[in-house]
């Protein structure tokens, strides 16, 4: 028993000696803290006094782990936008400066995760394993650090890739009334980036939790979540979270772009973002302007979308392509927020409720849609086969409207209308079913060569599927040349047309048989007394 007691006594003596040495060498340090007081708490905002040194957009720490961003700097108090659940805050609570602006976790560890704008995981998969952070508000790349948009971003949608092409580094607006398929186009584009070496960021702003859950389920089911980061500010969240969500998502995307990667970011949608900012501004007593929006509503979107670009070779040649979504009301694209976004972006894809009701999906109105940059980045093969397609489709729509008045049409006009109907049928596409580049080029070649003109409209869906199936079985080297950016060679064009002609032979034979039966029926009817 003596040996264990002696050992314990020696350990105790060493511990006491260590404590004594620590007390002798300890030097107390004073840390300056600036603490203020809440004077008012309202819906999503707070008024704070006693922080004269606080700066604009500085992050403040509130009780209960809630943070806020300084928005108003008045002489005696400051207005703060709250980020998170503020129900427990009340006047008299203390507020502390953090000395930093709001930042967000970035890096490869975020791929496949669903997070909120503060970087907190929402998918139940544990904390984020990322140590790198970036401020959510960052200056856009200078002009001299940018390169022209030169590479296409394939959406997998025939109507967009052929007629309204998008380039990597472009900002293309998607707008239309509610429930016309805006989110479906964005998700289709994300799904088509599989094996395209493009990372994606999907930012849901003020959306219903059920709609966000459905989008995440689709991405997971199709295998797209592995290369996608989902940033969510739910509809019942504080308006401050809806305001900072797109900026946080853009910083995440920029971290990939600055590493030399190609990135696609979807803002769904900026209408909710503008409304959240209007709510905060009115609560903070900022002067209202048109439609009660504050005067800097244009600036909050322009400084966001200017961060999407194609970097030069010296900066790593990465790109950030932005697809902002805007909801219009009663097809009014000349409203305040839509016109702001149209002037900021490099083109728009307009979705028509009339086409949606007719079953023309995706319901893209080609006449009101435009891409101001993507044509320069479009593959030469597309330009060769789809050059006259938009003009032919526009002529068809005009003649179709004219034909509704019951006017007698000559044979040439009838041919234009029938050809246009087949163009529209070919541009129809099922949801979440992206079409590969070889299949698109084969379909467009068949259209421009008139191979679909002899096929009945009710057979067009099956005929289009047969062409896509035939394109998948083209020789490997030919498919690689179609995927490349080079011009379409005459030999390749003839090879594709011959393959398509073989695939459509059955449908053309059925159409010819149907025409003969119809002619025979007409002759019998004429021969009757």
pLDDT in tens, 303-356: 999 999 999 999 999 999 999 999 999 999 999 999 999 999 999 999 999 999
Determine what percent of the chain is predicted with pLDDT higher than 70.
Answer: 94
Q: Which two tokens stand for residue 345?
A: 């972006």
By the 8 A CB rule, do 362 and 159 touch?
A: yes
- What's the rounded Cα separation, in Å, for the pair 305 and 328? 19
Query: What is 158-210 written as a DSSP string?
Result: HHHHHHS--BTT-B-EEEESTTSSHHHHHHHHHHTTTTTTEEEEEEEEEE-HH
pLDDT, mean of residues 173-178: 96
Q: What is the dihedral of CA 498, 503, 508, 509, to 10 degrees?
A: 110
pLDDT tens for residues 188-207?
999 999 989 999 999 999 99
Nearest to 438 by CA among 400, 383, 475: 475
At 113, the pLDDT band (50, 70, 90 cuts) reads very high
Domains in the chain, please, with CATH? 35-101 (2.40.30.20), 104-377 (3.40.50.300), 384-520 (1.20.150.20)
Residue among 376, 382, 371, 412 nearest 395 (CA): 412
Q: Output the CA torsion 17→19→25→28 (10° steps).
A: -170
Give the residue-averaged pLDDT of 250-279: 97
Q: Which of 60-69, 302-311, 374-383 has the lowest mean pLDDT?
A: 374-383
Q: Is residue 488 scored above 80 in pLDDT?
A: yes
Q: How confident is the model at residue 517 (pLDDT cuts 50, 70, 90)?
A: very low
Q: Which residues are catalytic?
A: 372
Burial 160-188 (b: 16+ CB within 10 A, else e): bbbbbbbbbbbbbbbbbbeebbbbbbbbb
pLDDT reported for residue 171: 97
CA gap 330, 335 in Å, rounded:
10
Q: Is the pLDDT of residue 153 over 90?
A: yes
Q: What are 283's two structure tokens?
A: 């609560």
Distance (Å, whole) CA 142 – CA 133: 22
Q: pLDDT, tens digit, for every residue of 211-236?
A: 999 999 999 999 999 999 999 999 89
Is residue 2 predicted with pLDDT exceeding 90? no
245 CB-near residues (< 8 Å, 6+ apart): 117, 203, 204, 205, 231, 232, 233, 273
**pLDDT score for 3:** 57
pLDDT of 404? 74
Is the Cβ–Cβ distance between 311 and 254 less than 8 Å? Answer: no
Tell me the β-bridge partners of 60: 68, 97
Residue 440's H or E segment, with its range, is helix 437-448
Query: Could you read off the pLDDT of 357-368 as tens digits, one per residue?
Result: 999 999 999 999
């Amino acid at each position: 028993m003596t040996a264990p007691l002696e050992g314990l006594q020696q350990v105790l003596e060493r511990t006491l000696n260590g404590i004594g040495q620590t007390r002798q060498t300890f030097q107390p340090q004073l840390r300056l803290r600036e603490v203020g007081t809440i004077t008012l708490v309202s819906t999503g905002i707070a008024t704070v006094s006693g922080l004269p040194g606080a700066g604009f957009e500085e992050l403040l720490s509130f009780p209960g782990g809630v943070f806020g961003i300084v928005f108003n700097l008045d002489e005696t108090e400051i207005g703060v936008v709250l980020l998170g659940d503020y129900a427990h805050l009340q006047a008299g609570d203390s507020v502390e400066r953090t000395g930093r602006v709001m930042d967000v976790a970035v890096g490869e560890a975020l791929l496949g995760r669903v997070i909120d704008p503060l970087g907190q995981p929402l998918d139940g998969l544990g904390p984020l394993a990322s140590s790198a952070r970036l401020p959510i508000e960052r200056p856009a790349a200078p002009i001299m650090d940018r390169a022209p948009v030169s590479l296409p971003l394939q959406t997998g949608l025939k109507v967009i890739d052929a007629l309204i092409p998008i380039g990597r580094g472009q900002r293309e607006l998607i707008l239309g009334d509610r429930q016309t398929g805006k989110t479906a186009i964005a998700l289709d584009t994300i799904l088509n980036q599989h094996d395209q070496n493009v990372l994606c960021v999907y930012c849901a702003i003020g959306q219903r939790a059920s709609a966000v859950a459905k989008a995440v389920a689709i991405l997971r089911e199709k295998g797209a979540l592995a290369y996608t980061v989902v940033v969510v500010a739910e509809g019942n969240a504080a308006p401050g979270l809806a305001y900072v969500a797109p900026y946080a998502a853009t910083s995440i995307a920029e971290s990939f772009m600055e590493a030399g990667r190609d990135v696609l970011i979807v803002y769904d949608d900026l209408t909710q973002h503008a409304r959240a900012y209007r709510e905060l501004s009115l609560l903070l007593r900022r002067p209202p302007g048109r439609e009660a929006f504050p005067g800097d509503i244009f600036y909050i979107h322009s400084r966001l979308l200017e961060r999407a670009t194609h970097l030069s070779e010296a900066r790593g040649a990465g790109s950030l392509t932005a697809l902002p979504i805007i909801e219009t009301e009663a097809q009014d694209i000349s409203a305040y927020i839509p016109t702001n976004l149209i002037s900021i972006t490099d083109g728009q894809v307009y979705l028509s409720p009339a086409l949606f009701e007719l079953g023309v999906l995706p319901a893209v109105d080609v006449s009101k849609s435009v891409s101001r940059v993507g044509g320069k980045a479009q593959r030469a093969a597309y330009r060769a086969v789809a050059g006259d397609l938009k003009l032919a489709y526009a002529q068809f729509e005009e003649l179709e409207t004219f034909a509704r008045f019951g006017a007698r049409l000559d044979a040439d006009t009838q041919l234009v209308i029938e050809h246009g109907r087949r163009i529209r049928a070919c541009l129809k596409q099922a949801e979440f079913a992206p079409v590969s580049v070889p299949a698109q080029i084969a379909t467009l070649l068949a259209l421009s060569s008139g191979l679909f003109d002899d096929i009945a409209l009710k057979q067009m869906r099956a005929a289009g599927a047969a062409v896509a199936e035939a394109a998948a079985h083209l020789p490997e080297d030919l498919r690689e040349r179609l995927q490349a950016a080079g011009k379409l060679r005459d030999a390749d064009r003839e090879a594709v047309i011959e393959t398509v002609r073989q695939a459509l032979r059955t449908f053309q034979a059925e159409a010819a048989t149907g025409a003969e039966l119809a002619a025979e029926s007409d002759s019998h009817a004429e021969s009757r007394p």
